[in-house]
């Protein structure tokens, strides 16, 4: 496996671990309960926490400029925030609970959206 292939795989692993840490270990009830209220500090803090941890990938896939790094971070913030907010809107609109299959479908779609965001981040960094 070439150096670039290894860097891509390690980069994706780093982003996956940082996502897990921010979503499952550092996310507070305040953040979780308020992500569905547009502009609420809870959701903004959560997206910010995700974004603050993202530069860890720059150790293996350094951006070509500070402008690119800033664009990646701004993009992740906006996308992460809106993926979470949109999921919460649908859960509330359809009054879904953990007992409903569509609750879990939406949860999975949300997580897939985050992982695809990381694919885009890596693609931008290697281009």
DSSP string, 10-53: HHHHHHHHHHHIIIIIS--HHHHHHTTSTT-HHHHHHHHHHHHH
pLDDT value at residue 77:
98
pLDDT value at residue 116:
98
The tens place of each residue's pLDDT in the chain, 127 residues long, gives 789 999 999 999 999 999 999 999 999 999 999 999 999 999 999 999 999 999 999 999 999 999 999 999 999 999 999 999 999 999 999 999 999 999 999 999 999 999 999 999 999 999 8
CA–CA separation, 47 vs 35, rounded Å?
A: 9
Please choose, from the candidates 60, 54, 86, the residue with its C-alpha nearest in 3D space to the C-alpha of residue 72: 54
**What is the total count of domains within the chain?**
1
pLDDT value at residue 2:
84
DSSP string, 115-126: HHHHHHHHHHHH
Give me the domain span that covers residue 87: 3-126
Residue 51 burial by Cβ neighbours in a 10 Å radius (0-12, 13-18, 19+): buried
């Amino acid at each position: 496996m070439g150096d670039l292939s290894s860097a891509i795989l390690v980069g994706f692993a780093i982003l996956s671990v940082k996502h897990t840490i921010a979503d499952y270990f550092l996310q507070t009830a305040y953040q979780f309960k308020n992500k569905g209220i547009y502009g609420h500090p809870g959701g903004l803090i959560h997206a910010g926490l995700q974004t603050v941890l993202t530069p860890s990938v720059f150790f293996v896939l350094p951006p070509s400029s500070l402008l690119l790094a800033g664009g990646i971070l701004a993009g992740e913030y906006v996308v992460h925030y809106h993926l979470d907010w949109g999921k919460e809107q649908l859960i509330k609109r359809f009054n879904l609970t953990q007992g409903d299959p569509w609750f879990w479908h939406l949860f999975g779609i949300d997580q897939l959206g985050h992982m695809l965001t990381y694919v885009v981040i890596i693609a931008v960094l290697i281009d």
